Amino acid sequence: MQQIIIHVDMDAFFASVEMHDHPELRGKPLIIGALPHERGVVATCSYEARRFGVHSAMNIKEAYRCCPQGIYMHPDFYKYKAVSEQLHAIWNTYASAAQTIALDEAYLDVTAAAKDWEGARRIARIIKQRTWDELGLTCSVGVAYSKTAAKTASEENKPNGYFEILTAEDFVRLIIDRDVRVLYTVGAKTAEKLRSAGIRTVRDIQERPADVIRLCGRHGQWLVQLASGRDERAVTPYRPEDAKSIGREVTFQQDVSDHAVLRDVLILLAFCVEHRAKRVGLRGRGITLKLTYSDMKQITRSHLIPQTDSAVTIYQETVRLLEQLPQRPVRLIGAGLYQLSAEPEERQLSFDDQTDDAPHSEETARRLLLDGLRTRYGLDFAGNLEKIYNYEVLHKTVEYLRQHRTKPIQD
């Protein structure tokens, strides 16, 4: 059956939210991400900043070279998450199936609600209008016969765009002379592989299907299909509650080799992960430690434990994983929970487990972790832990730990 799919994507999402909250920033080149004197990248930037060549994932130093007059701000993920929940709630009203792709992006199957293309246009108009009326933000909407075409359509007239692609023929006509990267799943690696064989555009894929399949195997078969406009994938309902993992990570301004510092940073990360997990009511059975070394080599170590959302357990388990690794300069460290579930795990408790000591020991262990930070650095989080859940405070605190490791403050 013919599907009618809408793809909706917010314009310069983080930056637009900040401009909405701070009207004095409107019309200015606003860059959300690291600050120019820090290590890190651009998360996103306003369309005004894009005119200077700034874009997502660009190194912040390079962004600063392109746009020294820009306004630089750290992201506030909690704020964007809260806005995102409201956005998806509006959009999902019109869909029989909604697939959340990102905080600011979703596929909506509106086949039933729309009935025909005219109905789909009406829904697209309402979605744009309500997004603006209720949140003061603009989005771009694509209406199409397939997911790939809907995504391409929403990008076609950004920002505040609307575009429709009603047939496979229209889609092919639109993209035939574009770079292969216009096709869903073609990233830098695949594009390079194809380019090495002289396949640069969608037309090249259409004209040389055998070469594409020889170079890329099953993925190649999919690309040949997409290049002729065929994509019958359904919108598969997905909600953030189905998230595969909850994690938090930080990049140091200078590499850290000392495991004592990394352990202290893991205390902070563990509390942050606990906070996120509790906020969405999820516990994890898997614990992950992630490190990026100074040579950019990245490793993750994981193992399974009884279901938890406790900072103490997250800390203890990530430290165990850390201790198995050699001391090398670390650039980024992260802690995470996976195999998440909202349902309590069925666990065989022995009578020993059921003594009243358990909550006390958890409380004591939390206090010990925080006391440690107070003793070693003079940082007193007891009572106002929520400070470090803020991106900016967390990063500042981590930097503080790094800088003070050689001269610990005594009680």
Catalytic residue ranges: 105
Is 17 one of the binding residues for Mg ion (CB under 5 A)?
A: no
Q: Is 244 exposed, middle or buried (0-12, 13-18, 19+ CB in 10 A)?
A: exposed
Among 18, 48, 104, 204, the residue binding Mg ion under the rule CB under 5 A is 104
Please state, in angstroms and rounded to a whole number, the distance separating the CA atoms of residues 377 and 67.
Answer: 37
Is 20 one of the binding residues for ligand TTP (CB under 6 A)?
A: no
Residues 318-377 binding Mg ion (CB under 5 A) are none
Question: Taking the complex as a whole, how short is the minimal distance between the CB of residue 154 and Mg ion, in angstroms?
Answer: 9
Question: Taking the complex as a whole, how short is the minimal distance between the CB of residue 101 and Mg ion, in angstroms?
Answer: 10
Is 153 one of the binding residues for ligand TTP (CB under 6 A)?
A: no
Residues 316-355 binding ligand TTP (CB under 6 A) are none
Residues 178-197 binding ligand TTP (CB under 6 A) are none
Question: Taking the complex as a whole, how short is the minimal distance between the CB of residue 2 and ligand TTP, in angstroms?
Answer: 28
Among 39, 61, 122, 158, the residue binding ligand TTP under the rule CB under 6 A is 158
Is 105 one of the binding residues for ligand TTP (CB under 6 A)?
A: yes
Please state, in angstroms and rounded to a whole number, the distance separating the CA atoms of residues 230 and 227.
Answer: 7
Residues 42-81 binding ligand TTP (CB under 6 A) are 43-44, 56-57
For 337-369, b/e burial (b = at least 16 CB within 10 A) is bbbbeeeeeeeeeeeeeeeeeeeeeeeebbeeb
Segment contacting ligand TTP (CB under 6 A): 101-109, 118-126, 238-246, 370-378? 101-109
* 150 alpha carbon, distance to own chain's centre: 21
Cβ distance to ligand TTP smaller for residue 158 or 181: 158
Please state, in angstroms and rounded to a whole number, the distance separating the CA atoms of residues 17 and 11.
Answer: 10
Cβ neighbour number for residue 309 with a 10 Å cutoff? 21
**Residue 389 partner contact from Mg ion, ligand TTP, none using kind-dependent CB cut-offs of 5 to 8 Å:** none
Cβ distance to Mg ion smaller for residue 140 or 146: 140
Cβ distance to Mg ion smaller for residue 10 or 45: 10
Among 4, 5, 8, 9, the residue binding Mg ion under the rule CB under 5 A is 9
List contacts with Mg ion (CB under 5 A): 9-10, 13, 104
List contacts with ligand TTP (CB under 6 A): 9-14, 43-44, 56-57, 102, 104-105, 158-159
